Chains A and B, each alone.
Chain A
Amino acid sequence: MSKVKVARKSTRIDMTAMSDVTVLLLTFFMLTSTFVKKEPVQVTTPASVSEIKIPETNILAILIDPAGKVFMSMDKQGDMVETLTKVGKDYGVTFTAEEIQKFKVSSTFGVPIKKMKDYLALKATDQDKVLATLGIPTDSLDNQFKSWVKNARATNPDFRIAIKADAKTPYKVIKDVMTSLQDLRENRYNLITSLKNETANK
């Protein structure tokens, strides 16, 4: 009787094809996606049918959370520094080089100017926690928001203002922000929304 010979096969799988696929996917993700900006508060934008895309550069983003706290962010660090110095001058606060450096790296800011020095002295992890409880004052008595926008506009005349507010924000807050912008003759701005699926809504 002859022995049944079981052919010995190598269990090695060729990973080249797999590698090709993953590199392709990686390239796709790198090219199509944009990085999520760190925001101090969670904001869910309302949906709209508008299909205009927001430009990527020269954006002065105004972030409004459901409680009505206002934060701001700019996409150029140079402009941020210049704006901070100008706003500081308006309120009689001067910043050291170290403080400016710290301010530069923060993605979103929104602290009353008097508290800015204390805030910048904090560690980065503590800053995030504190920032969510603060916000730029927008009330008529102490409208620092106006000063920020005015100085940002003076720094970079090409800025486009974009308002990103939570769907549940009361209109009263939006009205305050809009009135402040109107006072500064900033009459054209963008409202950031997410895409609404019209068919799903029916």
Chain B
Amino acid sequence: MSEIQTNDTGGKHKKGGSKQKKISVFVDFTPMVDMNMLLITFFMLCTSLSKPQTMEISMPSNDKKLSKDDQPPVKASQAITLVLSGGDSVFYYEGLPNYKDYKSLKLTSYSADGIREFLLKRNTEAVIKINELKEKKAQLKISQDQYTKQASEIKGGKNTPVVIIKAADQATYKNLIDALDEMQICNIGKYVIDKITPSEKFLIKNYQTKGALSANTAK
């Protein structure tokens, strides 16, 4: 390949042939390969192939000037509050907290049969619709733009649950990401990250002591 073929046979000159000197041009590519390998090694070690993923979130503004009208209240029947606690545990309650009954707060985990199962159950309507939409998109019936538009419409629908995520100081960043991840998996369009209040802390303590706190306050 890198050799230019000549008619020269074994280096012997034919008698009476042309007297032009025929040189075999053979370029040795070994150093070139060496150098390339070195460069490849360098690129493999010093660069990363995978681009990091990102999650886009919008936090509520804590502007004091905002009036009550800008913060529409959430129906208690639609509200789900997740309280992320330490030790990879997550508590949740539906609607308004019940301070008297410690069983109103439920303990679960971040695994597929934990919080996901519960959220999927609450959001069945939207999940079914989204799945239908995904199928349509897979069959190329609708374009990507249409899909995004319709999906956000379904997610923002009237009867979809609103999730309030409250994280305790003991929770880790991973817990927060896991919780936000569940929102994506369960197709929940309305969720907010809020600060934990003493009442949530009370609920957790009450749960851990199996209602001892609420029993005391009742007396």
Contacts and interface: CB of A to CB of B under 8 A. Distances in A.
Given A50-B184, A185-B63, A175 B195 contact: yes
Nearest to B112: A202
A30 B49 CA distance: 10
Interface in B55-74: 55-63
Contact of A194 (B44, B49, B53, B175): B53
Interface string A141-174: 0000000000000000000001011111111101
A65 B102 CA distance: 36
Interface stretch (A11-19, A73-81, A120-128, A129-137): A11-19
Determine the main DSSP class of B at the interface with A: mixed
B177 A46 contact: yes
Interface stretch (B135-143, B165-173, B210-218): B165-173
* Residue in B29, B60, B170 whose Cβ sees the most chain A Cβ within 10 Å: B29
B43 A171 contact: no
B39 interface: yes
Interface stretch (A33-41, A85-93, A98-106, A109-117): A33-41
Interface string A3-37: 00000000010111111001101100110111110
Nearest to B84: A171
B216 to A, nearest CB: 28
A149 B60 CA distance: 18
A183 B64 CA distance: 10
Interface in B106-155: 112
A174 B48 contact: no
A15 B33 contact: yes
Contacts of B60: 182, 187
Contacts of A70: none
B178 interface: yes
Interface of A: 12, 14-19, 22-23, 25-26, 29-30, 32-36, 45-54, 64, 162, 164-172, 174-175, 178-179, 181-183, 185, 187-196, 201-202
9 contacts: A29-B43, A33-B49, A52-B54, A64-B173, A171-B175, A185-B61, A190-B54, A193-B177, A194-B50
Interface of B: 1-3, 26, 28-30, 32-33, 36-37, 39-40, 43-44, 46-63, 84, 112, 167-178, 180-181, 184-185, 193, 195
